[in-house]
Amino acid sequence: MPRTIDLIRASKLPSNMMQFAAKGALSVPPDENIEILVYLAKHNKIFGDLARLTLAGWDEKASLAAASDPKTPREVLAYLVSPENLRPKLLPALLENSSVAEGELAKFAISVSPEGIAAMLQSPRVRASAAILEVLRSNPYLKGNDAKTVAELLRAAKPEPPSSAVAGSGQQVDHAAPASAAEPGAEVDSAAGDEAGEVPDEAVSAYLAEHATEIAAEAEKPFQPVGGIVELLGADYFPVSENKEMTEIAGAEEKVAAASAASAVAARPKPSAGPPPGQRDNTVQKINRLDVKGRIQLAMKGNKEERSILIRDGTKVVALAVLDAPKISDGEVEKFALQKNVLEAVLRQIPLKRRFMKNYFVVRNLVSNPRTPLDLGLGLMKHLQTQDLKNISANKEVSETVRKLAMKMYKQKVESANKK
């Protein structure tokens, strides 16, 4: 007889039973119950929200048993350890569970809170893993004694340097401070501070595994920046006579005649392995030669300039990879939040990262951005200071609804301040 979870996967359970399932009310063993809830939370559009709420308040003893058991399905463990779903009391068990892949822990380590860092540094598994410690070192919340502990553990581990680091300039990299800890809005030279530290392959592998379906569907999609190539690079980047062609041919490597522009777009060649002999690619040409997987790897391991271009990628799974880059700085995200030439999915993803939402300038820029979806902008407005509410109420680029609510909230704050 098939298990209930198999019936749910095959969409053979009646609607009323599905609702019971999303409430965790089915008469099935505890381990199958949590497996059902995670499946619904991740894959069911109708009952997913209810399943996520149920999981957030799920019995702690049953949750701990699932987090500790190596036989727990990997999808369940991945859900429990993800930053947006993690319950702090489950973290020690998840860290020591051998079925939780190192890639998942590395992904978690990128933005874990200070409390989570403390728990990770108590874990024998984490303390013995150079790969996880390398990612943890890039966490913006890693400071003081914890940063010293990570540095000491890495020195003790003495990992082999990554091949890409050996092939670089040969200079010794200073790991004293993570690149992402830069001052908000500060410019970082892409050849210096922005490149401090190597991103472990585990972090990239975790992202590729999580988005495998989307990547497979978009595998051959070329780089096409939102807004077009001329808007990306600026009209001054090319001679005036070439602007028309560059608008039509995103990322073209050479000058082309106007007569061949239309056919070049229609029959765009697949990305090639490298530049012609004797020539050197600029950043856009380099990106233009990569397939979706290559662009994702560059988004997560590349430098600031490459991230600033790839955030504009019209392929969603590539653009969102930029926001998962361990070396991304708050200053970069502040600029992304204000950009009008990015996918809506990018603007929706930023608030889902707890680290970014702790930056007031990111929140303000999202509300000020006319491309930000209305529901998102209205929800974030409650976090704004009085003067910014006043400024937004006069900003004719944003929608009238946003302006009216900003003015209403501004008046309420002024009146409240006057009463004190």
Q: In tens digits, what is the pLDDT along the chain, a chain of 420 residues?
A: 678 999 998 889 998 999 999 999 999 999 999 999 999 999 998 999 999 999 988 999 999 999 999 999 999 998 998 877 888 899 999 999 999 988 888 877 877 788 889 999 999 999 998 888 888 887 778 888 998 999 999 888 754 444 443 333 333 333 333 333 333 344 333 333 344 457 777 888 888 888 888 899 888 889 888 876 545 555 444 444 344 444 444 344 333 333 333 343 344 444 445 555 555 567 888 898 899 999 999 999 999 999 999 999 999 999 999 999 988 998 999 999 999 999 999 999 998 888 888 889 999 999 999 999 988 888 898 889 888 999 999 988 899 999 999 999 999 988 888 876
Find residue 225's DSSP bridge partners: 313
Helix (H), strand (E) at residue 391: helix 386-393
Task: Express each pLDDT in 85-115 by its tens digit.
Answer: 888 899 999 999 999 988 888 877 877 788 8
Please list, in sequence order, all residues whose beta carbon lies within 8 angstroms of the beta carbon of residue 157, skipping any fewer than 6 positions away: 128, 129, 130, 133
Hey, how many other C-beta atoms are within 10 angstroms of the C-beta on 291?
16
**Which amino acid does the sequence have at 270?**
K
- The pLDDT, as a whole number, for residue 313 is 93
**Complete DSSP assignment for 164-175:** HHHTS--PPPP-
List, in sequence order, the alpha helices (H) in 280-315: 283-288, 292-301, 304-310
CA dist 224 → 32, 141, 261 (Å): 44, 35, 16
Q: What's the pTM?
A: 0.49
For residue range 227-248, list pLDDT tens digits in order.
765 455 554 444 443 444 444 4
Residue pair 313/214 in contact by the 8 Å Cβ criterion: no
pLDDT of residue 277: 56
Q: What is the pLDDT of residue 157?
A: 73
What is the residue extent of each domain of the chain?
A: 4-164+176-204, 224-289, 329-420
Q: What is the DSSP string of 181-235?
A: GSPTT----TTTGGG-S---HHHHHHHHHHTHHHHHHTTTPPP-BTT-HHHHH-G
pLDDT attached to residue 285: 85
378, two tokens = 């209205």
Those residues whose C-beta lies under 8 Å from the C-beta of residue 134, and which sit 6 or more positions away, are: 154, 159, 197, 198, 200
